[in-house]
Structure 1
Amino acid sequence: MAAFGNGGYGYSSGSDGEDEEEGPEGYRKGGYHAARPGDRFAGGRFVAQRKLGWGNFSTVWLAYDTLLKRFVALKIQKSARDYAHAALHEIELLSAVAKGDPTNSKCVVQLLDHFKHSGPNGQHICLVTEFLGDSLLRLIRYNRNKGIGLSRVREICRSVLVGLDYLHRELGIIHTDLKPENVLLVSTINPSKDPVRSGFTPILERPVGNQYGGKVTSFSEKMLKIRARRAVAKISLRRVSLGGVGAEVEKERSLDGISMKCKIVDFGNACWADQRLAGEIQTREYRAPEVIIGSVYSYSADMWSFACMVFELATGDMLFAPKNCQGCNEDEDHLALMMETLGKMPKKIASSGTHSKVYFDRHGDLKRIRRLKFWPLERVLVERYNFTETDANGFADFLRPILDFTPENRPTAAECLKHAWLN
């Protein structure tokens, strides 16, 4: 899955960097629209500049709005009926978001326009949003998965909680897929990637022969370049790990001067609280326990995902990364990991879902994973991530109530904003 989830609005292409492509097989009837720099949309108003990324549902382009003279993100949905239906659902939600936030201060991406575009592969619904920066996933990886520091984490928390409070309390929307890929910084990490800060002159005509920087690049040439880059990277890493002659030490990366203001994006899976989606929601590692056991979910499921994401920002690692184990599946491993960190799930909750009997016995214990190794959150922060006792206790004090197994006990976004740790 790309950094866009279902095709969001970020800057980052592929899952993280330039080494993943959507592949030519997606460009057929019902699939992606093959846009090129200089292509015009909406009667000529929006001009494609360069591709920012892609998702399972769409590609996203940097575009120039010739009417308002500004850069925007243009999301071009695949044309098949299911994708068009998903795009209309997203437009409905984002229109409500924009209508309730005329000052653009609620930390949720702003929909600026939407229209249909006809191409060789069918009719594509297009969404135009404000241009934003890199995803929090890109930020985590940019900092080499080392954790970005608690003061930066607090800043990001404030933005995300303002966005969640707006979605939950004012609009009645559950995002259902909150994760680092779906929160974007307002500006790019690298100023040269920002069209305004880098002084990029907009392309207003299609380059002759569709040239990129003076030469035509085919898909196969691009893949060869990507493979060559990967091979060089592997050799460099081998040198580092061997520590032999010519060993290269990774350079420290500074986060100074990078704004941590951010916005929630990608509403492809979001729903109204009174029209919940059937079936499973949320990306695996950020999935709430009530979703795994097939119980009722609400806004508090987003809060669980938020806490998982915040832990990842602070440490560089996922809080829960379940896998299939001998004699158990990913769901069971996930529930076991939760209980090892947070304590035993209350029997009332364990037995409340449609899948409860699959995982739990009548005492509320896991059927197939009998021996849990308890390692509480504070101790994990101190012993694995070298937090001071003070930092670990303060941070865990903020996170633990949000990671309550009982969904209605979790604090709301508004309540979290008042927590001492944030202030």
Structure 2
Amino acid sequence: MPKEDDSASDYSDLESIHSDVEEDLEDYKKGGYHPVNIGDRFDNGRYIVLRKLGWGHFSTVWLALDTLNDSHVALKIVKAANRYTDSALEEIKLLECVKKTNAESKGWQHVAQLLNHFWHQGPNGKHACMTFEVLGESLLTLMKRYNYKGIPQNIVKRIAKQVLEGLDYLHRECGIVHTDLKPENVLVWIPNIEAYLKTDTADILKEIKEREHQLPSPNSMTPTTPNIERRRSSTASWHEGMDVESMSKSKKKRLKKKMKKKTLDDVEEVEDKLGNLKISTNWSTPKEAKVIPSSILDITSIGSEEDLDTIVIKIADLGNACWMDGEYTHVIQTRQYRSPEVIVGAKWTNEADMWSVACMIFELLTGEFLFDPRAGSKYNKDDDHLAQILELMRTVPKLLISGGEYSRDFFDRSGKLKHIKKLRYRRLRDVLHDTFLVPPEDADAASHFLLPMLEMDMTKRASASHMLKSTWLKDA
């Protein structure tokens, strides 16, 4: 049986950004978070930290001023352990592909853009850092604004069209599978964000600069980035106390080799895994780690009600994304948006994203999950998840019955579930109409739009480019 796993994977960007609870102070340790204070500078002084935007289990994210361009950025600082830096390097490759493939594409503007990346050496290790354009809150906040009763249909249609355009760009032009689409990972673009931030952060920036003028000059402080030349010259000190003059030639030769090897090791320690990233020097001394509260930018407090009619969104968080040309069976997607082929352990590809899109659009329309499985005394969440899907879609393709690593744990040979016998079949349009009181004509239209993306046989599931031709989106 597959293990119970409701998360998308072991590396994700901003996955806990919406939580009222901040990161654990105990995670500020070797291999963990980098301790950040308001006013800290990164990338040789280029970025000044102004505010904390949020955190994930694998990174913290900060609002920073890019002094080079006099504009604000979201600065993501990944934990220092190798598993996170390796994932960050892969994420950077994906983001670079998104950035460079085709800026003229409609979908390009609906995927959050990477601006810069560099390494930063801190007391807990070497951290991969990325800067992104500053965006507003996620669609989750928009759902909260409407008290989880559903967002107006005209706004949902506009969001759906842009998500599909962004996804079509990722799939068809970049060859990328997102793997974790959900309201939390779709962010709202705020057109006047820079003007707002300049006003909002003016006092903070002034206070930081006044404080900096009172501090010793950077040249009198110790950089946290290892200095290769300094370390190279200091390698001679490790053999102090040895009587080198009285050594035999062979011993002197061995000593010389050891010194040379240590010098190379010190250099490699700094240069290892650099790739094309730059090392950042932070000319501030390490401070005691503390948890700073997040202060997320909220479109509902910046924009007006009318702004929602022209809402622009961007797909974010490629922390779990992967290339389409691979063969994958590992668990992806947050539980409520997980496709049936992933549940049974079958091979999956970009069609899995389309399932997530349908689940997300339903949630935007109604304020509730389309599928929200619970474990019972005789079955687990996966059993209940498949049961809920079957109640809506009725028939099971052979791919799910026998094509997955765990298919036989769920289905008998006839395609019936082993652990849940009684199902309550229903139509999607009836769920929309009867449960959520969507008018009949709207329920029929929304159901007709969603069902091609909820095809249980992923080989028959509609693509993003196909869905963009839907009449449901014509007024979006």
**Normalising to structure 2: TM-score of the pair?**
0.75
1:76-225 map, 5 Å? 76-102=77-103, 106=108, 107-187=110-190, 195-196=197-198, 198=200, 200=202, 203=205, 205=208, 208=211
**CA deviation digits over 1:380-415, x for unaligned, max 9?**
101110100000000000001110001011111011
Q: CA deviation at 1:187?
A: 2.1
Work out whether residues 176 and 301 of structure 1, in 8 Å CA contact, stay in contact via their aligned partners in 2.
Answer: yes
* Matched position secondary structure for 1:257: helix
Separation in 2 of the partners of 1:21 and 1:78? Answer: 15
Sequence identity (%): 45
Q: CA deviation at 1:139?
A: 1.5
Which amino acid letter does the alignment assign opposite residue 133 of structure 2? Answer: E
**CA deviation digits over 1:175-220, x for unaligned, max 9?**
11111111111129x98995157575562636759xxxxxxxx969
Which region of structure 1 is more displaced relative to structure 2, 340-349 or 116-125? 340-349
Equivalent residue for 2:27? Answer: 26
Which amino acid letter does the alignment assign opposite residue 318 of structure 1? Answer: F
Residue 390 (structure 2) pairs with residue 339 (structure 1): yes
Pick aligned residue for 1:378 from 416, 419, 429: 429
Separation in 2 of the partners of 1:37 and 1:4? Answer: 30
Work out whether residues 445 and 472 of structure 2, in 8 Å CA contact, stay in contact via their aligned partners in 1.
Answer: yes
Equivalent residue for 1:414? Answer: 465
Which region of structure 1 is more displaced relative to structure 2, 64-73 or 259-268? 259-268
Equivalent residue for 2:13? Answer: 8
Equivalent residue for 1:296? Answer: 347
Relative distance call for 1:413 and 1:316 in structure 2 (3 A) is: same
Relative distance call for 1:374 and 1:342 in structure 2 (3 A) is: same
1:305-320 map, 5 Å? 305-320=356-371
Equivalent residue for 1:67? Answer: 68
Question: How many residues align structurally?
Answer: 382
Q: CA deviation at 1:140?
A: 1.2
Separation in 1 of the partners of 2:399 and 2:44? Answer: 58
Relative distance call for 1:152 and 1:379 in structure 2 (3 A) is: same
Relative distance call for 1:300 and 1:129 in structure 2 (3 A) is: same
Which amino acid letter does the alignment assign opposite residue 148 of structure 1? Answer: I
Equivalent residue for 1:240? Answer: none
Q: CA deviation at 1:138?
A: 1.8
Relative distance call for 1:326 and 1:36 in structure 2 (3 A) is: same
Relative distance call for 1:287 and 1:3 in structure 2 (3 A) is: closer
Relative distance call for 1:377 and 1:278 in structure 2 (3 A) is: closer
RMSD: 3.0
Relative distance call for 1:206 and 1:103 in structure 2 (3 A) is: farther
Q: CA deviation at 1:348?
A: 4.7
Equivalent residue for 1:257? Answer: 307
Separation in 1 of the partners of 2:195 and 2:28? Answer: 27
Pick aligned residue for 1:322 from 359, 373, 378: 373
Q: CA deviation at 1:4?
A: 13
Relative distance call for 1:330 and 1:7 in structure 2 (3 A) is: closer
Relative distance call for 1:201 and 1:93 in structure 2 (3 A) is: farther
Relative distance call for 1:385 and 1:354 in structure 2 (3 A) is: same
Separation in 2 of the partners of 1:207 and 1:119? Answer: 25
Higher Rg of the two aligned structures: 2
**CA deviation digits over 1:64-117, x for unaligned, max 9?**
111111111100000111110010000000000001243585211111100001
Which amino acid letter does the alignment assign opposite residue 257 of structure 1? Answer: D
Equivalent residue for 1:50? Answer: 51
Relative distance call for 1:192 and 1:271 in structure 2 (3 A) is: closer
Q: CA deviation at 1:353?
A: 1.1
Equivalent residue for 1:36? Answer: 37
Which amino acid letter does the alignment assign opposite residue 195 of structure 1? Answer: L
Structure 1: any 5+ residue segments left out of the alignment? 210-217, 224-252
**Normalising to structure 1: TM-score of the pair?**
0.83
Separation in 1 of the partners of 2:161 and 2:198? Answer: 26
Separation in 1 of the partners of 2:366 and 2:357? Answer: 14
Which amino acid letter does the alignment assign opposite residue 307 of structure 2? Answer: G
Structure with greater proportional helix content: 2
Separation in 1 of the partners of 2:413 and 2:7? Answer: 41
Work out whether residues 179 and 320 of structure 2, in 8 Å CA contact, stay in contact via their aligned partners in 1.
Answer: yes
Separation in 1 of the partners of 2:445 and 2:467? Answer: 13
Q: CA deviation at 1:299?
A: 1.0
Relative distance call for 1:222 and 1:140 in structure 2 (3 A) is: closer
* Matched position secondary structure for 2:63: strand
Equivalent residue for 1:388? Answer: 439
Work out whether residues 37 and 207 of structure 1, in 8 Å CA contact, stay in contact via their aligned partners in 2.
Answer: no
Separation in 2 of the partners of 1:220 and 1:281? Answer: 30
Work out whether residues 3 and 135 of structure 1, in 8 Å CA contact, stay in contact via their aligned partners in 2.
Answer: no
Separation in 1 of the partners of 2:385 and 2:164? Answer: 25
Work out whether residues 311 and 318 of structure 1, in 8 Å CA contact, stay in contact via their aligned partners in 2.
Answer: yes
Work out whether residues 341 and 404 of structure 2, in 8 Å CA contact, stay in contact via their aligned partners in 1.
Answer: yes
